[in-house]
Chain A
Amino acid sequence: MELFRKEDKMSSLIGANYNLLPVINRFGIRLGFKEKSIDEVCTENKIHTDFFLAIVNTYTDEGYFPEAELLSFSPLLIIEYLKNTHRYYIEYVLPKIERLLNKVIESCTEDCSSLKMINSFYQKYKAELLIHLNLEDEKVFPYIINLYKEKTLNSDGSSIEVLENEHTNVEVKLSDLKNLIIRHLSPNYEDNTMNEFLTALFQFENDLNDHARIEDHILIVQVMEFEKELGK
């Protein structure tokens, strides 16, 4: 996989990785690029090109970690982007996954108690995920916004490290959910329906991993640097 550069065509970006479709939407970019380059489309949409590239490259290559000089954009831009992502999860992805799961359950004709357990497990997972997203929306992001506005450290000693607890718990549950279905559930359901549900889970897992990388590799790094400067 090559890193995307600003002179590449916007259309080639989607050709190389269609998982970026919802990502560009979150920037407010819509299809129909003609022959325009990434830079041209970003400029038209008033998007910081370096920021856009940092995000799409982080999405495309797991090992990618933008260098300090590429992180010249404001963390407020990232927060705006992350909030959009949260909205996309809550308003679109989770309801879709739930709809598909309900279809799977409806397709079960006998001995459906195990599937019901899977459903309760999913509900538990969803509840935890929502708590996590909420915490970021209501505590972590406002903390950062305030930090950059006031340019002073909180007197109570709170810092980004303390606030941003790890994503691992929710990640573990999603992986457990997949393994329970793939390895341990007896197949009392309609196959195509289940495949659709699982595909949606895999996609969501990918998206969440990339999302977490953007938080950990870009946002948190920037904020920690800034806190260090303020502490001097």
Chain B
Amino acid sequence: MKENVFIIHRSEIIRKGLSLILQDYFKMEITQLNSTKDLNSFTGITNSSIILILEAQTEVNSKAVDLLKKNNDVYLVGFYNDDQVLEQNDSVDYQLNQFSSSMQIQKLIQIIRQAGAKKKNGNSDNGELTVREKEVIRLIAVGLANKEIAEKLFISIHTVISHRKNITEKLGIKSISGLTVYAIMNNLLDIQDINPEELI
């Protein structure tokens, strides 16, 4: 899942400083906003895990946050200027203050990441194609549709579709003509077997 990190704070010193520190941990660009109002321009994001670090005790812009929550996992982190405010605060999920040590910051990021990772389940094979998958590629390349491939291999259409999904994940190739090129490059198929005009 993609990650988007926002820092929303009125102070430029804090915005820039914090994102400099966090960039080391997140290894990505961090969007810095002056006010929660600017968040309205980012509500089009989907399928991401979004970490919002907000200046504490300011208006949260719940309209934009609610829109973001519809299509994303959103984590709110309150940023405090001092360490005395640690009473239970329902409006944010996590707390950070300007005196947090690097250990505390790291820990916070870990917790957020783990929360996001629960939903993923890793695909753990070595990326080699199985014999069956190679057969499927060959049939795709000669121009057969899912239904025809299913009939030819005596498997269900559902199985064909799942083979195709795995092939695409392993090879990073999705289009039919891309798979055809792959098949020829790897001698799964002879160039004579296809009509180069049509498929390539």
Same complex for A and B? Answer yes
A-to-B contact residues, CB < 8 Å = 1-3, 57, 61, 63-67, 70, 113-114, 117-118, 120-121, 124, 169, 172-173, 175-177, 179-180, 183-185, 217
Rounded to whole Å, the gap between the CB of A176 and the closest CB of chain B is 3
Q: Mark B165-200, 1 if CB is under 8 A from A, else 0.
A: 000000111110110011011100001000010001
Q: Inside 8 A of A117's CB, which chain B residues have their CB?
A: 181, 184-185, 200
Of B31-39, B83-91, B101-109, the one touching chain A: B31-39
**When the two chains form their complex, are residues B177 and A64 in contact, meaning their CB atoms are under 8 A apart?**
no
Cα–Cα distance between A148 and B44 once the two chains are bound (Å): 26
**When the two chains form their complex, are residues B42 and A179 in contact, meaning their CB atoms are under 8 A apart?**
no
**When the two chains form their complex, are residues A183 and B171 in contact, meaning their CB atoms are under 8 A apart?**
yes
Select one of A70, A124, A183 contacting B172, CB under 8 A.
Answer: A183
From B41, B43, B171, B185, name the one whose CB has the most chain A CB atoms within 10 angstroms.
B41
Rounded to whole Å, the gap between the CB of A89 and the closest CB of chain B is 20
**When the two chains form their complex, are residues A176 and B32 in contact, meaning their CB atoms are under 8 A apart?**
no
- A63 in contact with B4 given A1-B30, A1-B31 (CB within 8 Å): yes
**When the two chains form their complex, are residues A121 and B171 in contact, meaning their CB atoms are under 8 A apart?**
no
**When the two chains form their complex, are residues A217 and B44 in contact, meaning their CB atoms are under 8 A apart?**
yes
Nearest B-chain residue to A120, judged by Cβ: B200
- A172 in contact with B175 given A1-B29, A184-B186 (CB within 8 Å): yes
Listed from nearest, the 6 A-B pairs whose CB atoms lie closest are: A176-B178, A65-B44, A179-B172, A120-B200, A63-B45, A63-B42
Size bracket, chain B contacts: 20 to 34
**When the two chains form their complex, are residues A173 and B175 in contact, meaning their CB atoms are under 8 A apart?**
yes
**When the two chains form their complex, are residues A3 and B173 in contact, meaning their CB atoms are under 8 A apart?**
no
Pull 21 A–B residue pairs with CB atoms less than 8 Å apart, ordered by A: A61-B42, A63-B4, A63-B48, A67-B41, A114-B184, A114-B185, A117-B185, A118-B181, A121-B177, A121-B181, A124-B177, A169-B175, A172-B175, A175-B174, A176-B177, A180-B178, A180-B181, A183-B171, A184-B182, A184-B185, A217-B44
Nearest A-chain residue to B184, judged by Cβ: A117
Q: Inside 8 A of B184's CB, which chain A residues have their CB?
A: 114, 117
Is residue B40 within 8 Å, beta carbon to beta carbon, of the partner chain?
yes
**When the two chains form their complex, are residues B174 and A176 in contact, meaning their CB atoms are under 8 A apart?**
yes
Cα–Cα distance between A67 and B38 once the two chains are bound (Å): 9
Nearest A-chain residue to B44, judged by Cβ: A65
Select one of B31, B43, B45, B178 contacting A177, CB under 8 A.
Answer: B178
**When the two chains form their complex, are residues B181 and A3 in contact, meaning their CB atoms are under 8 A apart?**
no
Cα–Cα distance between A184 and B186 once the two chains are bound (Å): 9
Cα–Cα distance between A124 and B44 once the two chains are bound (Å): 32
**When the two chains form their complex, are residues B41 and A184 in contact, meaning their CB atoms are under 8 A apart?**
no
Nearest B-chain residue to A54, judged by Cβ: B41
- A65 in contact with B41 given A117-B200, A120-B200, A180-B173 (CB within 8 Å): yes
Q: Inside 8 A of A121's CB, which chain B residues have their CB?
A: 177-178, 181, 200
Q: Inside 8 A of B171's CB, which chain A residues have their CB?
A: 179, 183-184
Rounded to whole Å, the gap between the CB of A73 and the closest CB of chain B is 16
Q: Inside 8 A of A175's CB, which chain B residues have their CB?
A: 172, 174
